[in-house]
Structure 1
Amino acid sequence: MPIDVAKLTSAPPVHTDVSWDDRDVRLYHLALGAGVPETDPAELRYVYERHPRGLKVLPLFGVTAANVGFQVFELPGVDVDLASALHGGQQVTVHRPLPPAAKASAVTRVTDVYDKGRAAVIVQESTLVGEDGEPLLTQRNQIFVHGEGGFGGERGPSDRAPAPDRAPDAVLDLPTLPQQALLYRLLGDWNPLHADPEVARAAGHDRPILHGLCTFGMVVKAVADRFLDGDAAAIGGCRTRFAGAFHPGETLRLRVWSEPAAGGWRLRATAPDRDDAPVLDHALVTTLDTARPRTSKPGSTR
């Protein structure tokens, strides 16, 4: 079979040198739509290196900086067409806040391969380690490979984090730029699906789509701004399922439920321009143990 589970999960970890500076951080935040309005001190803390309170770094920047999203396909034991692979979910655990500049290394391995029947799910884990040898964050990618299931493996645990059965505590409408996918590509994800109309149409979309990690980054920023006063260092983790395509230039509607028992907020993002089509689901943002979720008055900021 194209996926040799035993060989893939026993392969030695891949070590990748990683480095970044404040320019990379500022570009990442700009690609999420930060800096609007350009005179707002709350926005400048993401994009201005001389901000009096210091440059903030959202935790999902570490995923982009490591740039190991589909490194699994470089490991022995997997021989599949990349066109059959889909980024199905993302989980990040923050061990300590990311600095605006650093040299680090990413240690990447495959922890599990699950059998979902028609598809296989490869779980790739990568830990970003600082120069001092201590971890900064750990990310786990769920990569769905269509047509590779049915090999008799374990189905895997449920990672559901459904929204509560009640009205959301906040509804936030997040605008995007028509060229936002082109901006986000400058961070290193060169998939033509996000730039080439012909490639997008061949994949079943009427035009290029926005990167899932870009929409998720926007959501994490919105939570930090609304509930943590922009304190990105207070975020302890986040996760989501990528539920559907989202197009640059559309509005992303984010519904937020405060869940103190879960340590943060449950989230769901949709595209209101397309009858509230799902974009992100089973999403959760939590705070570090030293922080506590801050409350915000229920309501809408549409």
Structure 2
Amino acid sequence: MSNANPGAGFEYPAVEVSWLKRDVLLFATSIGCTVDELQFLYELHPKFAVFPTYPILLPFKTTTQEVIDFYASQAQTPIPGIPKMDARRVLDGQRSMTFLKPLPPTSAGKKFEIRAKVLGVYDKGKAGTVIETQQDLVDAGTGEVYTTAVGSGFYVGQGNWGGPKGPATVNFPPPDRAPDAILEHQTTAESAHLYRLNGDYNPLHATPEPGKAMGFGGAIMHGLSSWNFTARDILRRFGGSQPENLREFQARFASPVLPGNKLVTKAWRTGEVKGGFEEIRFVTQVEGGKVCLSNGRALVRIVDGKAGISQIDGLIFEWEDDTNIVKPPVTTSANATSVDDYKYNIHSLGCIDYQQEEMKNASRVGVGVGLLKQEANRDAMKKRWVGVLGVALR
């Protein structure tokens, strides 16, 4: 610990954490996983897995299965040389997470701990104070580290105590070109109430009064809910919803999201590959409004649909068998007809409505970009349509 950076290197007492299968199922549901990602939603799925960002919640949940007093739970261990901060006026600044080992579906039979240390405490003047910490999820029995998270808490209006201003943040701007994918996530008025059941019971996200006192006009979404929504969307689009395909994920919390807002994420592949993981950069904004997640970056092992690819008028389709070409070719992207009377209508963000007139049980289904497990008539189609992988950008 140095006078130039008071608090840096301070280690908090280790905190035991635990989780059950129901906790990881709830988490996956709360961040928007759907039935085409059943491995995150059903405990008997042969590939049942924990969504990789789940440990970001464990410092809030710790070992409890009950609703807790958020403010009491946030009572901080004093950091030498730093004024006491009011946890009732704290916002997330940014979070990054590195995934080192897949998390078991339950902690039963092992003892896990969050081991945290202070990386820096920065005085931002009248605006407030930033405390940057590193939190490692560790198997206390073996010492193995499963995830490492680096985050910053912004203590609103709690600055001007004479501390250092802090270094400039490393930025990851998106490329100056059209994005490779545009992803949507619709929240509801109840999204924050579902997400908080993971263990983050901050009243700021449940009732209007705290948000009004902080100038937000009412309740706002958890910053980490938007962060996790986007992590799920990025992994689904680029990594085939396979948890082992996400190595790192980070974003800065740029502005609040209100319950009911639609989030729109623009994502770019950079072509920079390290250890088989490609860097993805992204920006998430409220539809028609401000950027809410900036400085977005993920390292993803790209899934390009190894089951076979068909490209039709700029779209990429995946088939279960070895059929790589759909005939006749699509001639228009507005109302296209392909084999077996399937109709594809391309929406502005790459989504598709499809209808096979022969199949009464199919009628009309809206399909988002991603992998849809939709059985087609095998006798008629001689193959199974797995889904739309995305929009092919030339």
Same fold per superposition (TM over 0.5):
yes
| 1:76 matches 2:91 | no
Check the 8 A contact 1:72/1:124 in 2, yes or no. no
What TM-score do the two structures reach when normalised by structure 2? 0.67
CA distance in 1, matches of 2:120, 2:59: 21
Counterpart in 1 of 2:66?
A: none
Select the residue among 66, 90, 94 that pairs with 1:89. 94
Counterparts of 1:98 and 1:282, CA distance in 2: 26
Aligned length, in residue pairs: 287
Larger mean CA deviation between 275-284 and 109-118 belongs to: 109-118
Equivalence map 1:152-171=2 (5 Å): 153=164, 155-171=166-182
Pick 1 or 2: higher relative contact order, CA cutoff 8 A, min separation 6. 1
Mapped partners of 1:94, 1:175: distance in 2: 27
Measured in 1, the distance between the counterparts of 2:164 and 2:208 equals: 38
Quote the residue 1:269 is aligned against.
284
Rg (Cα) greater in structure? 2
**2:33 equivalent to 1:28:** no
Is the 2:245–2:302 contact (alpha carbons within 8 Å) kept by the matching residues of 1? no
Aligned match of 2:55: 62
Q: CA deviation at 1:161?
A: 1.3
Post-superposition shift, 1:178? 1.8
Residue 263 of structure 2 is aligned with which of 233, 239, 252? Answer: 252
Provide, for residues 199-231 of structure 1, a one-character-per-residue CA deviation record: whole Å limited to 9, x for no partner: 222222233111111111111111111111111
Q: Distance in 1 between matches of 2:20 and 2:200?
A: 18
- Of 77-86 and 66-75, deviating more is 66-75
Shift of 1:88: 0.6
**Pair 1:49 & 2:43 matched:** yes
In 2, the alpha carbon distance for the partners of 1:174 and 1:28 equals 16
SS in 2 for 1:9: coil
What is the rounded CA distance, in whole Å, between the counterparts of 1:11 and 1:71 in structure 2?
17
In 1: Cα distance, 2:260 partner to 2:116 partner: 34
Q: CA deviation at 1:100?
A: 1.2
CA contact (8 A) 1:72 1:109 kept: no
Distance 1:244 1:50 in 2: 39
Cα distance, 1:65 vs structure 2: 2.2
- C-alpha contact (below 8 Å) 1:123/1:143 kept by paired residues: yes
Specify the alignment match of 1:120 in structure 2. 129
Please name the residue that 1:195 is paired with. Answer: 206
Deviation for aligned residue 1:233: 1.6
Q: Which residue of 1 aligns with 2:308?
A: none
Q: Of residues 118, 134, 143 in structure 1, which corresponds to 2:144?
A: 134
Q: Which amino acid counterpart does residue 45 of structure 2 have in structure 1?
A: H
Write the deviation string for residues 62-112 of structure 1: whole angstroms up to 9, x where unpaired. 111232799683233340223443211001111112221124111011121
- Once the two structures are TM-superposed, the CA of residue 6 in structure 1 deviates from its matched residue by 6.3
- CA RMSD of the aligned region, Å? 2.6
Q: Which residue of 2 aligns with 1:282?
A: 295
1:206/1:84 Cα in 2 relative to 1: closer, same or farther (>3 Å)?
A: closer
Q: Give aligned-pair identity as a percent.
A: 29
Instruction: Write the distance in 1 (CA, Å) between the matches of 2:243 and 2:12.
Output: 29
- Per-residue CA deviations over 1:136-172 (Å, capped at 9, x if unaligned) read 0111111223442572525214221112211111111
Q: Hey, what's the Cα distance between the residues in 2 that align with 1:183 and 1:301?
A: 28
| Cα deviation digits, residues 157-195 of structure 1 (max 9, x gap) | 422111221111111111122211011111111111101
Residue among 69, 79, 100 paired with 2:105:
100
- TM-score of the aligned structures, taking structure 1 as reference length: 0.86
How far residue 254 of structure 1 moved from its aligned partner, in angstroms, is 0.8
User: Are 2:183 and 1:172 aligned?
Assistant: yes
**Aligned counterparts of 1:186 and 1:149: Cα–Cα separation in 2:** 35
Q: Show structure 2 runs of 5+ residues with no match.
A: 63-69, 306-313, 316-347, 352-394
Q: Distance in 2 between matches of 1:84 and 1:300?
A: 37
Alpha carbons 2:89, 2:214 under 8 Å: kept? no
Structure 1: which amino acid aligns with 2:121?
V
Give the structure with the higher percent helix: 1
Question: What is the alpha-carbon distance in structure 1 between the residues aligned to residue 234 and residue 56 of structure 2?
Answer: 18
Equivalences for 1:12-27 in 2 at 5 Å? 12-27=11-26
Question: What is the identity, as a one-letter code, of the residue corresponding to 2:133?
Answer: Q
